[in-house]
A and B are shown apart, each in its own frame.
Chain A
C-alpha cells in the first residue's frame, strides 16, 4: 500500500539545478571554442527559495522562546528536506506569543500547501505537501483548533 520511494536526488536536481549549472568551465576559459551553454531556468527556484526562507524565519523567531524546542526541531528537519541551511542564531527580539505562533504556523501550512499545488517538480511537490501536513500535525495547531 505504500508509495514509491521518494527520490531525494530528484529534489536536489530540481532545487539545485540553477546553482549547480550557474557557471561552466567554458565560461571561464577564453580560449575555448565551445559556445557557452545557458542553463535552463529552474521553474521551481522561486518556490524553493521562498519555502526555505519561510522555515528559516520560523526557526529564528521560535528559537528565542521557551517551550518551542520541539517545534524548532520539526522545522529544522523540514528545512533539511529542502536542502536548506539552518539559520545560525535565534531571534534577539521578544519571543512570539502563543497566538502569534499559531497564526504563523497556520500561515506556513497554507503556504506550503499552495506551493505543493503549483510546483513543477513532482518530487518537490511531494516534499512541500508533506511539510504542510507535518505543520498541521504539530501540537501547537492541534491544541488551538
Chain B
C-alpha cells in the first residue's frame, strides 16, 4: 500500500520510511505541513502518517482541513504529547488513530495495517469468519467447526477485534485501547491472561491453533 509520512524530524522520518518499506509499503515523505497537505490531497495514498507538530501547519489542522475537503484517507497521528485529552483532540480533528512517541516499530506497523483494513469495510458487517471460526455479530454467537463457544461479553469484543484484524499483528496496547478503552500501561501481564483465556476457549479443543503469539509484538489471529 502507499503511505505518506509527514514528519520534520529527519531521524524519525528515516526510521518511519525504512520500517514501512521493510513491511512492503511504498513510502513518500514530506518535511512540513503545507507540502504534506498538498500531497495528501491527491488521495493517491492508502494511509497518511502525520506528526502532530509540524513546521508551517500543524498535523491536527491538516487533518481537519483534509476532512472538510472530503479526503477520507485514514490518518495515523504521531505525537510526543500522548496525554488523553490531546489524543481526544486529535481524534476529534478527524484522525483515525493516535500513537505516542516514542513507539515500537511493530506497534506502528500494526496500527498502519489496521487503519488500511478498517477502511475497506463496505457497509455494516454481520458475520466474521476466520478459518472454521465464525462470529455472528447480530446474534452475538461464536461457532468453531459447528460447535458453539460461550464467551463473556468482553471476550466477545476481544475476539471480534482480533477477527476484524485477522492476519495482522495486533499489539497489547492496541487491545488495551480499542477493546477496553484504557489508556494507561498496566504493570502486570493482564492482557496476556485475557488472551490465554480466550485461546483456551477457541483453540484448545481443536487441531489447528488460530490465535498466535507474535514474540515481542503482540498477537495475530490467522487460519
Whether chain B is bound by chain A comes out as no
A residues contacting B by CB (< 8 A) are none
